[in-house]
Structure 1
Amino acid sequence: MGEKAKITCDVAVIGAGLAGLTAGVRAAQAGRKAVLFEKSPDSVHLNNSRMTSGVFHLALGDILGDEGQLEQRIIDVTGGAAHRGLARALARDSKRMVRWLQALGVRFIRGSPEPWHNFVLAPPAIAQLGRHWQGRGGDVMLRTLEAELKKRGGEIKRGHEARHLCRESGRCAGFEGASLDGRPFEVIARATVIADGGFQANRELLHAHLTPAPDKVVQRNAGNGTGDGLRMAKEFGAAVTDLRGFYGHVLSRDALANDTLWPYPWADELARSCLVVGADGKRFADEGLGGVYLANRIAALPDPASATVVFDQAGWEGPGTERFLPPNPNMIKAGGTVLKAATLADLARTAGIAEEGLASQVETYNRALKSGGLEQLNPTRTTSKFRPVSVERPPFYAIPVCAGITYTMGGIAIDECSRVTGEGGQPIAGLYAAGSTVGGLEGGEKAGYLGGLCVTGVTALRAAEHIIGALDD
């Protein structure tokens, strides 16, 4: 295998997506030697940041809003699960992070009149079926950051996989790894940042924490988030947050075999407005909490490929046409199954749903909706976020669905400075983490979604800035 190569730098970053590049560029701006280690050998490697739709928001709120209100929004959306210090940091620094990107030449547009669309990467993602990321906002953003990194003396070593963190005098002193051809290397760094993404593509971890059947959950992502950094951090003594919860959407079940059906269209608007049932015809989750929550509940079913969204003609013509690339008509155009029948009984038989169970559930739901008693249903039905729609106007429809996972919400525990913390809550000297490899912000019992781009950018920016201060001391 030959002699182990030694690489020395001020800041070593594992991963070269938005988190890694942000940390590297910010450190390089302060004159620090930053080296990024990316296991993919591709010069333009695919990752979630490159595929992003590019909306910088906070819990579907405007990042320019009042910081105190944004902080409380984060706490509320996550049901109090978010780390208070991290919530405050995210509320305060999201706009600063976007301004920092703009100063580097990253361009934004206003995506729609909605306040949470005030900062959308340009050129905007194309509203077409399939994946069209080349030359779009996320791709251009990463190319811009990489050019800035190189201009300031930093570099990216591609085809270099980090495997184990190194300890010296009680602190993280770098890591060991191997290149694609098997040659070992050792990185000696004054600070190390783990920024390699979540564990959404690691079937073993998915099975342990998110779903009994990972093969029945669509990988709605770049496919490279395997949790390597999470594993290394745990081995080093880092604490880990609750690993339940992921950001994703409700997709056509056919997306398990048909790639045209992801990332869009999704069935979230229909699911949150109408009914989602199992094979027994019964509801199993609160649809009113939205698509991300429903995707989590579908993935957790004993059979994650057993859920169906049920609605009527009014639902198909209403929620079924909302948002860009809605299921009506794009689900059908992309080859997804949309069943239609004159009666609920016929629909149940065609969809493989228990006929009596579905009829009883629809009747109970419609009655509760008309009487204002949805919150008394079991499971309860929240109405504060989305308007529920009755299921009573034929013809009736059913879309067999599954969950699509984009990134995981739990991960390495960090403090508000993005320092990795140990089991006792104390920071581990020399070790930082940023992006979707970290936990402590999104998640909770209701899978509270805050917005991956802001979480990623802020945690990376804060990691670099703490490192800059620490190395100056």
Structure 2
Amino acid sequence: MSQSTQPVVVCGGGLAGLSAAVTALEAGAEVTLIEKSPYLGGTALLSGGTLWTFKEYDKIRELIPAGDPALQWVVHDTLPGARAWLQGLGVKFEDIGQMLHVGHGHVMDPVGAIGLLGARFKAIGGQLHLETGLHSLVMREGVVTGVRALHDGRIHDITAGAVVIATGGFQGNPELLGRYVLREPNNLMLRSNYWSTGDGFIAATQIGAAASPGLNTFYGHALAAPPARVDNTQFREAGQHHGRLCVAINMNGERFADETESTGEEAINQALAHQPGGLCFYVMDDDHMEQMSMQGRGALIRVILARCQKIGATVLQADTLETLCAAMALHGVPEARALATLKDFNAALEGGRADELRPARLGNRKPLRKPPFRAIHVKAAITFTMGGLAVDERARVLWRSGTTSHYAPVPTERAFVDQSAQGEGASTAIGHFYRQMPVQGLYAAGNDVGNISHFAYMGGLASALTMGRNAGRNAATLASVRKRVP
């Protein structure tokens, strides 16, 4: 790949990057897509293919108030149209109805969907370069004019009228995880593709792009802990989505968080990452065995435990809590402390003192009473980082030095700011105290966009698809303007 000129360069070939690239092509742009790995698809290939978000925008704001309201609105408002666009490309969906009591979902075959997007990209003229990573951005007088790409050990310049960063987040980068997420990155198992190491985040922040709030938050589900052997084809089989139904006991024999907080298991998993070794036991009784792992969806818990045993997980079973805690002690948990914790938990729920539990237990207030009792040893895992680059509702990456603090008061719920000026800065519709200034020529999509989800989760594939389409459309518009300038 020699030095070349392309109006739009998309960095990353997952669902977000492919959606951006195909959308830009359909808008009339020429597009080059570079992908670090040997194949397209990113973490979407490893997902269950559920395209979902909250049914009501107000519920998003209630449960994820720290997320960016404008970006959350974009995802919520444009998802139906984006799903219809995928259907037009031949992607088949099954309507699965309610998701996690707050959302509505449709399931697709992720491998098939990525295949159709890749075929569409090539059929309408896209240029694809696999095993080509984003090294850095090329700037001229404050404007992004291209990328430096690494291929086969050599760096090549690709000139662009617009660049879309969609490299998948920084969950695979222990240095960034240690800087932003937690003190001990080794407390986490990686539950995503192996190529998302923060290339886009690093390249953008090196030129002065703003980082979003929520850099310390992430999405994931605990996995069966070693000695279980979990490869990237087993993330769903070994995933412990049922954590919110259990009692989580850390290696000190204590509860450490409200297991039921947030829409799924992502909250207890984030809290687990800060426990010793990122390890705990999920404890349950026999009533749990016939429950579905994901609030009315997913595999039965007994099926999940059986799968995990087959790959070497530590799954304990006992007829009493006393003997269960004795078995946990063989794996390093203080027996007396764990037993006292479980007995106190049961006594509080049975005695009408659930509100006195510390940590709190706001949901699923059921004591552990029906034997046999079971416990599975689990470890925190990360699928993607929720924090990333700060962008506006047009997917434009923002300047750190030209944008006011995220803590500046915004008087409207959706916080749409007039950002019509692209060169000299953004005008503000709500006063000089709040400003967003975009970096000319730079867009972001997918997990490189920060602060859509924040601690709680509103759908990763939905954010990737909608923000990918958003970035591709706006990048194509800018590239067409630049192309006309002599």
User: Could you state the TM-score of these two structures normalised by the residue count of structure 2?
Assistant: 0.84
Cα-to-partner distance string for 1:234-263 (whole Å, 9 max, x where unaligned): 101011123112111122213664437533
Alignment length, in residue pairs?
A: 434
| Structure 1 residue 108 corresponds to structure 2 residue 93 | yes
Deviating 4+ runs (over 4 angstroms): 112-118, 317-323
Aligned to 2:469: 461
Letter in 2 for 1:165: L
SS of match in other structure, 1:277: strand
Cα-to-partner distance string for 1:147-173 (whole Å, 9 max, x where unaligned): 212222111111222211111122111
When residues 258 and 72 of structure 1 are mapped into structure 2, their CA distance, relative to the original with a 3 A threshold, is same
| Deviation of 1:267 (Å) | 2.7
- 1:400-419 alignment runs, 5 A limit: 400-419=377-396
SS of match in other structure, 1:414: coil
Of 15, 18, 23, which aligns to 2:20? 23
SS of match in other structure, 2:276: coil
| Deviation of 1:431 (Å) | 0.4
Kindly report the root-mean-square deviation, in angstroms, between the aligned alpha carbons of the 2 structures: 2.2
Aligned to 1:294: 268
Q: State the alpha-carbon separation in 1 of the partners of residues 105 and 457 from structure 2.
A: 18
Aligned to 2:299: 325
- 1:22-421 alignment runs, 5 A limit: 22-40=19-37, 42=38, 44-45=39-40, 47-58=42-53, 61=54, 65=55, 70-78=56-64, 80-111=65-96, 116=103, 118-121=105-108, 137-180=109-152, 182-241=153-212, 242-254=214-226, 257-259=229-231, 262-269=235-242, 271-289=243-261, 290-305=264-279, 307-318=280-291, 323-328=297-302, 329-352=306-329, 353-383=333-363, 387-421=364-398
| Deviation of 1:224 (Å) | 1.1
Structure 1: gaps (5+ residues): 122-136
Letter in 2 for 1:238: A
SS of match in other structure, 2:79: helix
CA contact (8 A) 2:146 2:163 kept: yes
Aligned to 1:452: 460
SS of match in other structure, 1:240: coil
CA contact (8 A) 2:162 2:478 kept: no
CA contact (8 A) 1:216 1:256 kept: no
| Structure 1 residue 432 corresponds to structure 2 residue 409 | no
| Deviation of 1:100 (Å) | 1.1
CA contact (8 A) 2:269 2:381 kept: yes
Aligned to 1:133: none
| Deviation of 1:430 (Å) | 0.5
SS of match in other structure, 2:52: coil
When residues 255 and 465 of structure 1 are mapped into structure 2, their CA distance, relative to the original with a 3 A threshold, is farther
When residues 232 and 355 of structure 1 are mapped into structure 2, their CA distance, relative to the original with a 3 A threshold, is same
| Deviation of 1:360 (Å) | 2.1
Letter in 2 for 1:155: Q
Q: 363-372 vs 318-327, which deviates more? A: 318-327
Q: State the alpha-carbon separation in 1 of the partners of residues 115 and 226 from structure 2.
A: 34
Letter in 2 for 1:235: Q
SS of match in other structure, 2:376: strand
SS of match in other structure, 2:267: helix
Cα-to-partner distance string for 1:388-415 (whole Å, 9 max, x where unaligned): 3211233322211111221111111111
| Deviation of 1:178 (Å) | 2.4
Aligned to 1:442: 453
SS of match in other structure, 1:16: coil
Cα-to-partner distance string for 1:302-332 (whole Å, 9 max, x where unaligned): 3212x11122222334467974333413333
| Deviation of 1:179 (Å) | 1.2
Cα-to-partner distance string for 1:13-56 (whole Å, 9 max, x where unaligned): 1111111111111111121101101122x2x3462122221111
Structure 2: gaps (5+ residues): 404-435, 482-486
When residues 319 and 453 of structure 1 are mapped into structure 2, their CA distance, relative to the original with a 3 A threshold, is closer
Q: State the alpha-carbon separation in 2 of the partners of residues 350 and 285 from structure 1.
A: 23
When residues 302 and 354 of structure 1 are mapped into structure 2, their CA distance, relative to the original with a 3 A threshold, is closer
CA contact (8 A) 1:274 1:388 kept: no
Identity in percent: 31
SS of match in other structure, 1:288: coil
Cα-to-partner distance string for 1:165-187 (whole Å, 9 max, x where unaligned): 1111221111112211x232111
CA contact (8 A) 2:291 2:301 kept: no
Q: State the alpha-carbon separation in 1 of the partners of residues 51 and 10 from structure 2.
A: 23
Letter in 2 for 1:291: E
CA contact (8 A) 1:261 1:331 kept: no
CA contact (8 A) 1:77 1:449 kept: no
| Deviation of 1:344 (Å) | 2.3
SS of match in other structure, 1:119: strand
| Deviation of 1:433 (Å) | 0.4
Aligned to 1:134: none
User: Could you state the TM-score of these two structures normalised by the residue count of structure 1?
Assistant: 0.86
Cα-to-partner distance string for 1:108-163 (whole Å, 9 max, x where unaligned): 12246769564211xxxxxxxxxxxxxxx112111211221222211111122221
